[in-house]
Every structure is written in structure tokens, then in C-alpha cells.
Amino acid sequence: MQPKLYIGIMSGTSLDGIDLVLVSFNSPKLSLLCSKLVPFPASLQGELRLLAEPGNNEVERIGPVENQLAECYAIGVQQLLKQANYQPEQISAIGCHGQTIRHRPSQPQPFTVQLGNMHLLAALTGIRVIADFRRKDMAYGGQGAPLVPAFHQAVFAKLGQNRAVVNIGGIANISLLNADGTTTGYDTGPGNCLMDDWVSLHRQLPFDKDGAFSAEGKLLPDLLQHLLEDNYFQQSAPKSTGREYFHLGWLQQRLSGQEAAADVQRTLCRFTATSIAKALQRPNLTEVYICGGGVYHPLLMADLQQLLGPATVQSSSVAGIEPDWVEAIAFAWLAQAFDRQLPGNVPAVTGARKACVLGVEYRP
């Protein structure tokens, strides 16, 4: 039987660009055939950052942004196919997450918003698109996030071993892959988002490359404790969050103004590590796989290893999937799960009343 080909597209809360992958599925195995990062145009990136927080005239601003996103996604798909030497008609579908600008799962009327004109993406590429993965889970009482644990379970779990997968993008989320075959998980809080915002404010850099800014500073224990006292960390799972909650304004409200900028950056690094480690505290945890941009922050990885030892903390590449592409592959996987009518959520993770087939189809 010929393997089926799917494209996965992910643009996350770090807002660093669009991750695209071409994946071959020959059930139950998958192979990554090609991958590509397409940076956001600066104007689009800036508009997405503004839309991630409440602002003025959002509806008028969202319309053009949705179309611009679809155009950027389509350009990425075309470049990916050219690089891999495949034609659109050879692709079963595109699984596209869209760009989250608001995630409010705990309100009286819960909702989530992912931007991207998927009809336009299908028209521009000539390929079916599967998108809108979160709202079906929310319709059944779930948080709609995190969505990747079902994929993590399929590719990283091993019976008899307690493993964890941690994605450290703008927001960090965990999947606990238990020895008995069950899976749980949730968003732990900020991943890179506060560190990115702080280094951007003080060094005009998009992120803390190699953790250099963090390494200049010293830990501020009182600030760390103050940050960890936020109500989000006291809530029990299932829970999820986003940039609309953890943003630069949230941080600045908790500062005295007397702190050295590098000391704040060092403390934010430890804050991310501590919030993740607290979520992973359980007996007999043996292996922790890290994916997302946080894997390239040496001090963050060292903090995690210190806090989680004796479990080993290492890149997901050790388990066979490069950390940059795990989430994009997950959305290719969710698209093929939609086509096979297999559940894409884990109710123990999201709190949904039942396992559901996730996604909506958009045809060219």
C-alpha cells in the first residue's frame, strides 16, 4: 500500500515564523520527508503580537491578517513541495493549526480563536485543508488544549516506562506518558514568551540566543516566588493558557522597577523551568523529552535537569524527531487522524466529555 503524504503547518505563540513539514504515513509508522521554516514578514508579525492582546477595532484588523496568513502559509507549502520535489495532487491534505490570538477556555462562554483563511489556503495550494482542531473538543466541555498529547502518545510512549514530553514554545505544555499506557497533560504556563518579550524590550533582540542574556544575570528568589504565586499555577488540571494571559504587562505589574534587566531575565528562565518541573513531579519519571525553541536555551535545559534529576532531560531528537518539527508533525498527524476518523483529543488531558475526531475540512 502506498504511504499517504500530509503537510503539517504550525505557527505558535512564539511568533517566530511558520513551521512546515511533509510527512509520509504508512500506518503505524511516519517519516519526515522535508521541513521548512518560513519567517513572518515583520509587519504581519507585529500585527499578530498586537492582536494577541485586547486592542481597538480588532474585527477590521483580523480580516486582512487572516488573508495574509493564508498567503504566507501557501507560499510555504509551495516552497516545501518544490524543495521535496512533490506536486500538490500527491498530497492527501494539509493539517493547519492557524495562529492563536485568543484562548479563553475558563470563561462562562468558553472560546478560542485561531486565525487563517483556510478556504483561501485550499484555493491557493489546490490541496484539501484540515483545520479548526480545537473547537470540537471545547464543544464537549474540554479546554481545546493542549492538542499534541495524542500525537505524543502515539510516537513517544513506551509501556512500562514513565516518560514526559515537554514542548517549550511561547507557552509550555507537557504530556505525561504513563507506564500503564495512559496519558495526561496540560499547559504549564510561560515557555519562552516572557523571556522573548523581556530581551526584546532591553536588547532589541527577538529571543535570548544561547541564553546569553540570562547567563549575565543572577537569580532573584523573591521575584521567582512572586511569579509562581499567580493563580494559574494553583489551578488543577485540565487547564490551558496563552499570550493573552502571560505577556509583558503581566510581568511588569510584578516588578518593583529596581531590578537589573539581566537579573529579571535569569529569573524568568528559572520561572519557566520551575513551573514545568513542578508539573512533572511524580515518582519513577525516567525520561523527559524537550521540543520547541526552549531546547536551544542551555541555561533553561540545565535548570530543568537540575530540578528534574534523576530523570534524564534531553532533546526529542534522541527519540527520533527533531525538536523544531514536533508540533508541525503533530498537525499532519491530526489531519490523517481526521481522514481515518480517529480521535485526536485525549479527554484526560483536555477535560472533554468524550474522545472526538478533530478538525474541519476545506476543499479547493
> Which one is the CATH code of 149-319: 3.30.420.40, 3.20.20.70, 3.40.47.10, 3.90.1150.10?
3.30.420.40
For residue 28, pLDDT over 70 is answered with no
Q: What is the pLDDT of residues 111-148, one digit of tens each?
A: 999 999 999 999 999 999 999 999 999 999 999 999 99
338-361 residue pLDDT tens: 999 999 999 999 999 999 999 999
Instruction: Give the pLDDT score at 282.
Output: 86
Query: What confidence category does residue 29 fall into, taking pLDDT thresholds of 50, 70 and 90?
Result: confident
Rounded Cα distance, 191 and 293, in Å: 9
Give the distance between the most distant pair of CA atoms in the chain: 65
Q: What is the pLDDT of residues 239-256, one digit of tens each?
A: 999 988 999 999 999 999
The partner residues of 222 in beta bridges, in order of sequence, read none
Q: Which three cell numbers stand for residue 52?
A: 494577541
In this predicted structure, the answer to whether residue 27 has a pLDDT above a threshold of 70 is no
Is 321 flagged in the annotation as binding? no
Give me the pLDDT at residue 15, please: 83
- The residues facing 168 across adjacent strands are 172
Q: Any known ligand binding at 31?
A: no
C-alpha to C-alpha distance for 29 and 6, rounded to whole angstroms: 13
Q: What is the pLDDT of residue 74?
A: 98
Q: What is the pLDDT of residue 273?
A: 98
Q: Is the pLDDT score of 1 beyond 70?
A: no
19 known member of a binding site: yes
Question: Is residue 170 marked as binding?
Answer: no
Name the amino acid, one letter, at 27.
Answer: S
Locate CATH 3.30.420.40 in the chain.
Answer: 4-144+352-362, 149-319
Summarised one tens digit per residue, pLDDT across range 197-248 is 999 999 999 999 999 999 999 999 999 999 999 999 999 999 999 988 999 9
Q: pLDDT tier at 2 (50, 70, 90 boundaries)?
A: confident
16-30, 68-82, 251-265, 311-325, range with the lowest pLDDT: 16-30
Strand-pair partners of 362: 129
Query: Was 230 annotated as part of a binding site?
Result: no
pLDDT tens digits for range 270-324: 999 999 999 999 889 999 999 999 999 999 999 999 999 999 999 999 999 999 9
Whether the pLDDT of residue 55 is over 90: the answer is no
Whether the per-residue pLDDT at 157 is higher than 80: the answer is yes
Judge if the upstream peptide bond of residue 310 is cis by omega within 30 degrees of 0: yes
Q: What is the 3-state secondary structure (H, E, C) of the chain?
A: CCCEEEEEEECCCCCCCEEEEEEEEECCEEEEEEEEEECCCHHHHHHHHHHCCCCCCHHHHHHHHHHHHHHHHHHHHHHHHHHHCCCHHHCCEEEECCEEEEEECCCCCCEEEEECCHHHHHHHHCCCEEECCHHHHHHCCCCCCCCCHHHHHHHHCCCCCEEEEEEECCEEEEEEECCCCCEEEEEEEECCHHHHHHHHHHHCCCCCHHHHHHHHCCCCHHHHHHHHCCHHHHCCCCCCCCCCCCCHHHHHCCCCCCCCHHHHHHHHHHHHHHHHHHHCCCCCEEEEEEECHHHHCHHHHHHHHHHHCCCEEEEHHHHCCCCCCHHHHHHHHHHHHHHCCCCCCCHHHHCCCCCCCCCEEECC
Cell numbers placing 356: 472526538
Above pLDDT 90, what percent of the chain? 92
Query: What's the grid cell of residue 31?
Result: 517519516
Q: Has residue 8 got a pLDDT over 70?
A: yes
pLDDT tens digits, 81-117: 999 999 999 999 999 999 999 999 989 999 999 999 9
Q: What is the average pLDDT value for the chain, to the nearest integer?
A: 95
Q: What is the mean pLDDT of residues 5-15?
A: 91
pLDDT score for 13: 78
Instruction: Residue 268: name the closest of 324, 326, 196, 330 by CA.
Output: 196
Question: According to the annotation, is 13 in a ligand binding site?
Answer: yes
Say if residue 15 carries a ligand binding annotation.
yes
Per-residue cell: 43: 509587519
pLDDT at 4: 95
* CATH code of domain 4-144+352-362: 3.30.420.40
Asked if 31 and 44 count as a contact pair (C-beta separation under 8 A), the reply is no
Cα 119 to the center of its chain, rounded Å: 23
160 carries a ligand binding annotation = no
> What pLDDT was estimated at residue 116?
97
Asked whether the whole model's pTM tops 0.75, one would answer yes
Dist CA 339 CA 354 (whole Å) = 19
